[in-house]
Amino acid sequence: MRVVFLCDDEPFNIPRTVLEVMRRRPGDSFWVVPLGGHGSAGRGFLNAKRYFILYGAVGFVRMALRFAARRLLGSLGVTKGGPYSLAQSARAAGAGLLRVRRINSAEGRRALAALDPDVIVSVACPQVLSRRTLALARMAAVNVHSALLPRNRGMLPTFWSLLDEPPCPGVTVHEMVPEIDAGDILAQRAVRIEAGASLWDLLAECKSVAADLLVEVLEKIEQGAVERRPNPASLATVHSFPGARDVREFRRRGWRTL
């Protein structure tokens, strides 16, 4: 199959997840499309404000230094301990790399159509795909969501999963539709979090589980054996990025962000 990844171009967990899937599906043809998200200069002030609230002053500085260091390692081509970028993941797997600014633009759709994808895979894609863009996938368009849908649709679902009573972290691979996190569920797995673990630990664990679920779903798509489960809006909870009050409640309940 021809598989195209549309991903947030962050240097932490996503490059490893994408590389793991590509290595475990050697018969597929892959393209990787990095899109500006959490590290985008165009959203720099908004992202800085959000993560300052989430991590606090000291944590924000720690994460900014980690981010800058990993960006540097990726740009220098350092592979030990990596990959540190989606470009490195593509090179390591012999996959193609396509850079576009807006995937829903006419230019973006033309570039994506030229790849002739059987499957489009979103891993934290920072742009909501339009119906015309989704239609370019011949067999399926799927998204990884780090929560057990239908609960905790929206932004930073790992955070909200830990605030649930009881906490219910997990990962869902679902069919993509123009509405956010609203498509049918294709695979799902709960994630255990150990006592004392942090939100950051959970983010990393969810991306590891995501690789397993994506391999499973791609195999079923190839075999024509996909099983769909409803993702009813009537049972959904929907969240935006956590604010200061949410973070205070998170910490009051004993959770750590880092």
pTM (predicted TM-score): 0.94
Percent of the chain residues topping a pLDDT of 70 = 97
Whether residue 37 is predicted with pLDDT greater than 90 in this model: the reply is no
The reported pLDDT for the residue numbered 40 is 54
Each residue of 68-80: pLDDT tens digit? Answer: 999 999 999 898 9
Whether residue 42 is predicted with pLDDT greater than 60 in this model: the reply is no
More confident residue, 242 or 48: 242
Whether residue 186 is predicted with pLDDT greater than 70 in this model: the reply is yes
The reported pLDDT for the residue numbered 47 is 85
Q: Please, what is the average pLDDT of the chain?
A: 94
Question: Measured between alpha carbons, how far is 54 from 79 in angstroms, rounded to an integer?
Answer: 29
* Residues β-bridged to residue 32: 5, 97
Question: Measured between alpha carbons, how far is 94 from 79 in angstroms, rounded to an integer?
Answer: 15
Each residue of 192-236: pLDDT tens digit? Answer: 988 778 999 999 999 999 999 999 999 999 999 999 999 999 999
Cα–Cα distances (Å) from 194 to 162, 167, 200, 205, in that order, read 12, 12, 12, 11
Percent of the chain residues topping a pLDDT of 90 = 90
H/E run at residue 187: strand 185-190
The reported pLDDT for the residue numbered 196 is 77
Mean pLDDT to the nearest integer, 177-200: 93
| Number of CB atoms found within 10 A of residue 189's CB | 15
Whether residue 38 is predicted with pLDDT greater than 80 in this model: the reply is no
In the chain, the domains with their CATH numbers are 2-252 (3.40.50.170)
